[in-house]
Amino acid sequence: MALLQRSLFCSVFGLVYILLVSNLCLAADPTVSYEFHVSYITASPLGVPQQVIAVNGKFPGPRINATTNYNVIVNVFNELDEDLLLTW
Ligand SMILES: *[C@@H]1O[C@H](CO)[C@@H](O)[C@H](O)[C@H]1NC(C)=O
């Protein structure tokens, strides 16, 4: 019985330890923040002027400079007259 209790204690303690350590690692990862103002502009990506959706007045939009495990925060301001979905 004592062995079972000790084993259970070790399992719970181990799990708590892993959770704490993994949270510390996540908090230590670098964070990059961006602000995206999404609007229409006129551009000529195909050689002919046309309305395109731009980020911060530029088409194509800005590059996100991040790598594995980075925390990326993007504040998006939809200045279009329609709904917007951003995906990566
Ligand atoms: C991307 O981020 C890395 C690390 O912060 C930096 O050294 C590098 O100059 C950045 N590259 C660009 C294109 O901003």
pTM: 0.67
Q: Reading across the β-sheet that carries 31-43, which strands appear in turn?
A: 50-55, 31-43, 71-78
Note the pLDDT tens digit of each residue in 56-86: 999 999 999 999 999 999 999 999 999 999 9
CA distance 73 to 35: 8
Q: Which CATH superfamily is domain 31-78 in?
A: Cupredoxins -  blue copper proteins (2.60.40.420)
Angle, CA of 63, 61 and 77, to the nearest 5°: 110
Find the 64 Cα to ligand 1 centroid distance in Å.
10
For residue 60, cis peptide bond before it (omega within 30 degrees of 0): yes
Distance (Å) from CA 65 to ligand 1 centroid: 6
- pLDDT (tens digit per residue) in 1-41: 554 555 544 455 454 444 445 554 456 999 999 999 999 99
Q: Judge residue 83's burial from the number of C-beta atoms within 10 Å of its C-beta, 0-12 exposed, 13-18 middle, 19 or more buried.
A: exposed
56 CA distance to ligand 1 centroid (A)? 20
